[in-house]
Amino acid sequence: MELAILGGTFDPVHLGHLLIAEQVLNRFDLDKIIFMPAGVPPHKNNSQILPSHHRLEMLKLAIRDNPLFNYSRYELDKEGQSYTADTLRYFKNKQGVDRVYFIIGADSLLDIFNWKEPDYLLANAFFIVAQRPGYSIDNILRENDYSPYFDRIFIMNSFFIDISSTFIRQAVKNGDSIRYQVTEAVKNYIENKKLYLED
């Protein structure tokens, strides 16, 4: 069995996330994508992250029209930090999944040796890396020694999408439009719940 997971804080989920998931389905022989919201994202300032029920609700709204996009509550329901190594162990050892693909942006690839148990992760999972503005994958691959894992890291020939959750949160705070950066349902949710208006 194979599983393709797009993990993220999704604060909020945006069209960049949806577009990279769609490109993965176009380019790889995978039949669905599992969006995995992090309960406690390891490398983010958690006091500033929206409670998980809001992040999950927006994710559900964003993917509801696409039967190939699913989500998992695994990292939300689990205690402690949402380490990807723990998630990998769970799906491989407890759920018997043979191949787990993690879909990440180039910024995450740059950070991956700072993740918990990077060697275990890189040796036992597969990574699909999406281009991201501001990051040169060629330079990233030159800076660290990824060579033992080259057969497990797939660089996706994807287009660059200049959208980030940080930019969206800032735009809401400034009173700027976020239309076309998030789905209409997510935009309405943010407005109705008055999210991201303050620091």
Ligand X SMILES: Nc1ncnc2c1ncn2[C@@H]1O[C@H](COP(=O)(O)OP(=O)(O)OP(=O)(O)O)[C@@H](O)[C@H]1O
Ligand Y SMILES: O=C(O)c1ccc[n+]([C@@H]2O[C@H](COP(=O)([O-])O)[C@@H](O)[C@H]2O)c1
Gap between the Cα atoms of 98 and 135, Å rounded: 31
Closest approach of Cβ 142 to ligand X, in Å?
19
1: DSSP letter: -
User: Contact between 16 and ligand Y (CB under 6 A)?
Assistant: no
Of all residues in the shown chain, the one whose CB is closest to ligand Y is 7
Non-local CB neighbours of 167 within 8 Å, separated by 6+ positions: 181
Nearest to 91 by CA among 58, 126, 115: 126
User: Contact between 108 and ligand Y (CB under 6 A)?
Assistant: yes
- The amino acid that residue 68 corresponds to is L
Task: Select 8 or 39, whichever has its Cβ closest to ligand X.
Answer: 8
Gap between the Cα atoms of 66 and 64, Å rounded: 6
Selected from 82, 131, 158, 181, the binder of ligand Y by CB under 6 A is 82
Closest approach of Cβ 157 to ligand X, in Å?
13
Task: Return the one option of ligand X, ligand Y, none that residue 47 interacts with (CB less than 5 to 8 A, by type).
Answer: none
Task: Select 9 or 131, whichever has its Cβ closest to ligand Y.
Answer: 9
Taking the alpha carbons of 159, 160, 163, 165 in that order, is the dihedral positive or negative? positive
Binding residues for ligand X (CB under 6 A): 8-11, 16-17, 20, 104-105, 107-108, 130, 132, 161, 163-166
Please state the φ and ψ torsions of residue 106, each to the nearest 5 degrees: -60, -30
Task: Select 21 or 91, whichever has its Cβ closest to ligand X.
Answer: 21
Is the peptide bond between 12 and the residue preceding it cis, with omega within 30 degrees of 0? yes
Size of site (CB under 6 A) for ligand Y: 16
Of all residues in the shown chain, the one whose CB is closest to ligand X is 105
Taking the alpha carbons of 195, 185, 16, 21 in that order, is the dihedral positive or negative? positive
Task: Return the one option of ligand X, ligand Y, none that residue 115 interacts with (CB less than 5 to 8 A, by type).
Answer: ligand Y
The residues that touch ligand Y, with contacts defined as CB under 6 A, are 7-9, 36, 38, 41-44, 82-85, 108, 115-116
